[in-house]
Amino acid sequence: MARCLRAIFVIFALMNLKSLAKDTAVYGLSSIVGRFLNYLLVILHTRVIPMESGGYGIVSNLYAWTALLLAFLTFGMETTFFRFANKEEENPEKVYSTALKMVLGVSLVFLAAVFGFLKPIAGMLGYEAHPEYIGCFALITALDAFQAIMFVRLRQQRRPLKFLSLKMTFIFFSVLLNLLVFLVLPRFFGRFPDLEQVFVRYDYGVGFIFLINLICTSIVTFAFIPEMKGLGVRFDRDLSLRMLRYTWPLLLMSVVGVLNQVADKILLPELMPGRDGLVQLGIYGACVKIAMVMSMLVQAFRYAYEPIVFGEAKNRSNDRTLADGMKWFIIFSLLAYLAVVFYMPLLKHIIGSGYWEGLDVVPVVMLAELFMGIYFNLSFWYKLTDQTWWGAIINAIAVSVMIGINVAFVPRIGYWACAWGGLVGYGLAMLISYFLGQKKYPINYDLHTILTFALIAGVYYFLYAELRDFGAGTWLLLTAGTLFLASYAYFIWKHIKQSI
């Protein structure tokens, strides 16, 4: 174990990213713990909410809408804050206050619009029977947008421990309340039939999931009271205009980027109307949770990586940081990919057995997430050169292709079109960004090492798939997968020693 820890330290020392190691560990801890406990909630929800009810499809659909609306309400201000806070001529306190006030103002306008037209909006989205779902999610989205700027402030100040404590606060109360609602509450149904009727009335507890989220988000907002002092700094109109000029392409990029992730979950019920669409979405949404290991890795890496890259923007050694960051991200992402695929016989128990028919989409969705992570690493060329409109163009092309695939094939093959659409969309964004970036901000990526590890991972995946298709039993698959994973880890260790 000690040798492994020393090796990890060497990696980041070579990358000139010593602080990245510590911050990624902390950010990664919040992300890993959060995802793990979320997996436990998926186990709970997919066993209590019947697949045929389509209830879990409602959860997937409304959370997809939340992610899209959050992109509008934050309008790229997280990246914009990093960019301006690290400029020598700017006052970080003013930048923070300006960003916080702009996001708060937009969020308040959004809430006024939603609650002013709550019933028409609910009817348009297919939730005329539950307008309270829409109101609940409007509040959650507005609070999340407001919190996003305060969380990004913690990252900019390199305060990962407070970041972690707030994330863990949300997780703790979320898990506690979900356990009370879905494990304890049903035990009283026999004595209180009206209580069971309320549970069924809200789609077998789906409405309670949303209420719990709102309660936990509110608790975290109150914990941010010290950071809200930034609202007391005088609003700088000139600074806000400069920040808006920088951020509007990021808004477009963020919106289409989120669409790449959630458009399938928004479109599927529309392309397959009625209960069948929600059932299909429920199966897909549950299985995608298993694939979120890759998304978790990308998120943890991004939280720690952005402040360092922007902080070193004026240093040409930043090019080495970008090249090394790309290499190690891909190497360890492939390790995570193989681990999920090889241990699928165990991981499938994360979701209820009624949803297992969708498990085959997991490798496709994970590969799409890997492409998205690579694209994130490649995106720094237009962020550092203030050409963020390129990001909007690239994402728009990708999301157009993805939506086209969904519209054309969802009515025919259901959620499989969602999986393949995401893969093609992210893959296209990755390729376009790479070739454009090499012309406008060339980085000497270690393609030889990257392709070597990709080939090794591909061979192991093919061999495992052949064993599975041949009808190998669970224990044989687990044994073979463990050996393949250990072999891949050995190649990583060997490369680390060569790099020393």
Nearest-angstrom CA–CA distance, 394 and 377: 14
Handedness of CA 320, 435, 392, 401 (dihedral sign): negative
Nearest-angstrom CA–CA distance, 461 and 443: 30
**For all residues of the chain together, what is the average pLDDT?**
82
pLDDT of residue 12: 42
pLDDT of residue 302: 61
> Over the stretch 320-332, which tens digit does the pLDDT of each residue have?
777 887 888 888 8
Do residues 399 and 263 touch, judged by C-beta distance below 8 A?
Answer: yes
326-337: buried (b, 16+ CB within 10 Å) or exposed (e) per residue?
A: bbbbbbebbbbb
Task: Supply 411's token pair.
Answer: 């009515």
Least confident of 241-245, 345-349, 379-383, 407-411: 379-383
Instruction: Give the model's confidence band at 239: pLDDT under 50 very low, under 70 low, under 90 confident, else very high.
Output: confident
pLDDT of residue 347: 83
> Over the stretch 390-441, which tens digit does the pLDDT of each residue have?
877 888 888 889 889 989 998 888 889 888 998 998 899 999 999 998 888 8
Instruction: Give the model's confidence band at 485: pLDDT under 50 very low, under 70 low, under 90 confident, else very high.
Output: very high
> Over the stretch 5-29, which tens digit does the pLDDT of each residue have?
444 444 444 444 455 555 555 665 6
- Residues recorded for the chain: 500
Instruction: Give the model's confidence band at 487: pLDDT under 50 very low, under 70 low, under 90 confident, else very high.
Output: very high
